């Protein structure tokens, strides 16, 4: 089962069917929770990865993920179908992550130093998955994590990443390649051990 999932997503993250997603959002706006369920199944893993790349904390990312879908549900009616459903969804998620930062700062907590298990200590992860997650969260900057996750996991094209993060395409490209190179290096070293 793992293989079928990973095979279909390995190449470019999950394929995005814009038309279908927009139909789902319209249905959600009409209160159709089965459409929300479907959207959830289509997007939950990459969205979680993106939130984790921002928040570096499993519990926070889980909470933000839930808030994201709740927001999708309450604001779907305002969505204007113009072929940007994925950017819309990720913008909601990003906003939720920002709010988590903000709440924590007001409470005087430093987000990254919070106790609790590290994301890569999740018992559901295999050895290699643990390695890659730990490398990505530890050696990449927040911006690099966003770029890598959006492209490699969420399947954004580079120019979509650039417009979503409001960065020049060249910056996105070179940061992506540098980040992947650093990951490769780190992982090859660990493999060698």
Partner 1 sequence: MNNKEIKRLLNRAAQSAAPDILDSVLSACEQQKGRNLVMTNAPVSESPRKRRGIRGLAIGLAVLCLVLVGGIGGFFGYQNYYAVDSIVAFDVNPSIQLEVNKEEKVLSAEPLNADASKILFDMDLKGTDLNVATNAIIGSMLRNGYLSDIANSILITVENGDDEKAAALQEQLVSEINQILGSNNIEGSILSQTLSTNNSDLQQKAATYNISTGKASLIEEILDTNSQYTFEQLSSLSIQELNILASAKEVTGVSSSGAVSTKGYISETDARDTALSDAGVQASSVTVQKLLLDWDDGRVVYDVEFYDREKTYEYEIDATSGEILTRKTEVSPLASGDVIGLEAAQSAAVSDAGVSSPTFTKGTLDRDNGRSIYEIEFISGNTKYEYDIDALSGSVLSRKIENVSTSTGSGVSGVIGEDAARQTALSDAGLSASDVTFGKVQLDNDDGRWQYEIEFYTSSGKYEYDIDAQSGSILSKESEATHTVTPPSSPTSSAASAETTPAPSQTTPPSTSSQTASTAPSTSSTPSTTTTPNTNPTLISEQAAKDAAASDAGLSSSSVTFTQVQLEKDDGRWEYEIDFYANNTEYDYTIDASTGSILKRESEQKPSYTNGGTAGGGASSTISIDQAKSLVQAKAPNATLVEISYDYDDGIPTYEGEMREGRTEYEFEIDARNGNFLKWETDYD
Count of residues interacting with partner 1 (CB under 8 A): 79
Separation CA 177–CA 193 (nearest Å) = 24
Contacts of partner 1 in 20-39 (CB under 8 A): 29-34, 36-37
Q: Do the beta carbons of residue 101 and residue 111 sit within 8 Å?
A: yes
Cβ-Cβ contacts under 8 Å for 163 (sequence gap 6 or more): 87
Q: Do the beta carbons of residue 124 and residue 141 sit within 8 Å?
A: no
Structure tokens at 153: 């996991």
Identify the residue among 58, 86, 144, 147 touching partner 1 (CB under 8 A). 58
Identify the residue among 42, 133, 147, 150 touching partner 1 (CB under 8 A). 133
Does 122 bind partner 1 (CB under 8 A)? Our answer is yes
Structure tokens at 10: 């390995």
Q: Which is nearer to partner 1, 68 or 115 (CB)?
A: 68
Contacts of partner 1 in 79-118 (CB under 8 A): 83, 98-99, 101-102, 105-106, 108
| Residue 137 burial (CB count, 10 A) | 17
Minimum distance from residue 161 beta carbon to partner 1 (Å): 11
Contacts of partner 1 in 161-190 (CB under 8 A): 166, 168-171, 173-174, 177-178, 180-181, 183-185, 187-188
**Sign of the CA dihedral 90, 91, 96, 100?**
positive
Minimum distance from residue 192 beta carbon to partner 1 (Å): 11
Minimum distance from residue 30 beta carbon to partner 1 (Å): 6
């Amino acid at each position: 089962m793992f293989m079928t999932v990973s095979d279909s997503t390995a190449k470019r993250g999950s394929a995005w069917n814009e038309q279908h997603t927009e139909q789902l959002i319209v249905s959600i706006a009409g209160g159709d929770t089965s459409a929300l369920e479907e959207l959830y199944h289509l997007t939950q893993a990459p969205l979680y990865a993106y939130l984790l790349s921002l928040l570096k904390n499993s519990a926070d990312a889980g909470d933000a993920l839930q808030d994201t879908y709740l927001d999708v549900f309450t604001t779907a009616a305002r969505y204007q179908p113009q072929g940007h459903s994925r950017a819309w969804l990720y913008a909601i998620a990003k906003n939720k992550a920002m709010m988590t930062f903000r709440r924590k700062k007001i409470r005087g907590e430093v987000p990254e130093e919070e106790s609790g298990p590290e994301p890569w200590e999740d018992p559901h992860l295999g050895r290699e998955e643990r390695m890659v997650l730990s490398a990505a969260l530890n050696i990449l900057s927040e911006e690099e994590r966003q770029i890598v996750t959006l492209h490699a996991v969420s399947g954004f094209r580079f120019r979509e990443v650039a417009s979503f993060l409001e960065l020049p395409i060249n910056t996105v490209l070179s940061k992506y390649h540098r980040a992947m190179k650093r990951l490769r290096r780190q992982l090859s070293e660990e493999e060698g051990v």
